[in-house]
Structure 1
């Protein structure tokens, strides 16, 4: 974003970028507080998981009129615009998209006799995790980060459910949700999954202690300097040959500017979508997948067709909105869901009961 701000400034649109070390949810709350105090920013790099909360935000600008007829921000040039659209309103313009992928330590997998081409279902992942955990001491088969509830969402969507239904009632504990939570619980209860939080899980894979790591493709550049060979394979369906459904991870640009500053803010959004900016920073520096359909000539030749980008890129078209809980208590609902997910997957002999209890509690937090 700093590079984008410098580019905009050089083009006659002065921009001051202010970084914050906050989660997407924390940033959203900060922006709301600042807006209520009369100190709102003009443009915010917003997590795509804030789309549902933004729909009830009085300060965010519907970008649909600004995008109408625009030569850059349209569904042809930016085919993932839907990831920032809700109820007919374009509230976020995606800047970087991430897709779930299976990161594989190829040395560990080979030593355990795991064929990467076999990782085509949840059962196959369980088998591979068990084989890796049994192949050597002090090596775990698999690890997961939560990523603000994003990784659990990928399992729920692919199993055939989501967080809530159209009436805002929790459905993550239905039969499909039970399938997902029981699958991941088996990975932990068997001793094959690394028992740690997001940071520890990431470090465990980076240090060669874990064979499989299921996480966002945005982790690609975080593992660029590891001492071992690794690759990625596509996120698997429940059963071989089945469907995979994903929610788009990543971030995009939202406008909070007052009417007299919205035209300039819109130009800032488009500056940040410059092909060279996206290629250099969003894709090649962070590991996001490109949001522009015409960006390939700006990327390193062959980048998207070779490992580690090829696997998540092959599923790029599957990404829909990153769902979240609505309402003022949405952040509390998400925190309760994440807490329950960790308990159910890592600590419980009855994971479905844990999620049932969480669903009952979260129901009381939703509008």
Structure 2
């Protein structure tokens, strides 16, 4: 298993100076979830009374691979005090026909119904209390009625848009199943659509690799009134041509994170570190990692982001079920609690529930 990254010394050569791999790569797939394997390393929840808002998870109705409300509730019932969650778009349950711009409303309707079912239960978290859906901002100003329809479909829970920008010229470096166009965040048509968000009170979830964070800085500077949250600690690539260049990635990534922190409208999600993108190979072990191992690996990412952005602009996420291929839900939150064990009560409250509640305006239904 590769060691964790951290803000090390300056690289001896620029990251982009190294020729990219030309090895053909199969289409990106997230590793398979293996419940029997995960059961080999069960842990009790640490600090079970610490309130948690899971700022990033998915629900999907995929044949042979469902992750629905009941599956999420089962994961979240492992002893942690999960009070609420935020659903993030994942290309599920779209309407099969009609205007392509409006088809993503099917996903929002699906999730809003799940949120209503969760709310009707006497106990348990407010699942999908915030909903972040999809709209093709590249449609420019024509996306405005789509955004308005998404707000209505969300039944008072719709909070923003995610349009994935994660792109790399080398297929071996890609850790996302999405296939966006290159330099999407700089495209004039996309920016025309992006300009529709703030007037409607909507935020933007940004998912990009560390090699694209300068583009995000440019976007955030151009739209200072739009609230943006960077997903998965900024996507420091640890696979493909970067697998043996961890020190160089660390230097480039941490410098980019510090640059982004100068944008007051930018926040960052702490998580997603169980994805194969980061190069830890956690899903390949004979047994799943425990929270002590995860805390050691993930600590440099978490500490770098919080040092740059401050504890008031960071929030923890599970990224389930994607990260479930690498560890269990209870183990994941135990790792976050271990990393922050020596931090102040105020800082931990902000990171585990306060910041996500404020950013996504959770608890509001109108």
Q: The TM-score by the shorter chain falls in which range? A: under 0.3
Looking at both structures, which has the greater relative contact order when contacts are Cα pairs under 8 Å and sequence separation is at least 6? 1
Structure whose CA Rg is larger: 1
The two structures have a TM-score, normalised by structure 2, of: 0.28
